[in-house]
Amino acid sequence: MPKLVAVFVGGALGTVLRYFSMLLFNQTSFPFATFTVNMLGTLGLIIFYTLATHTFRLEDETKAFIATGLFGALTTFSALALEVSIYLTNEEYIQALLYMVISYLCGLLIAILGYRITLKITNNQVKQ
């Protein structure tokens, strides 16, 4: 399967997963759906990246399908930016700032912990 097709198929799957998460979480004063898909996507991508880098040999098409397609479509910086813009438009400056800081710091923490835990679980196995 060519890389472009892999990205397309992975992206379609990621988009559908994001859509269902938006249906699952009712809109509240905090955008839980976007926050959740961004955090789960971050964790999934870092686990995949760690395994692909340190443990498994994967075809370029597989990497494109999972990393760029699936997780690229699942996570959404544009929705985060839109939600922050809405907070700002409504003059909810504290909420805008908190949402940005919480999203960034939680994402970074999840990435660091996901990377370290994945390495520990796989015992730093080298690709074979």
Amino acid sitting at position 54: H
Q: Which two tokens stand for residue 109?
A: 């923490």
DSSP 8-state secondary structure symbol assigned to residue 30:
S
DSSP secondary structure string for all residues of 64-77? IIIIIIIIHHHS-H
Question: Is 72 annotated as belonging to a binding site?
Answer: yes
Binding site: which residues? 72, 75
Binding site for Na(+): which residues? 72, 75
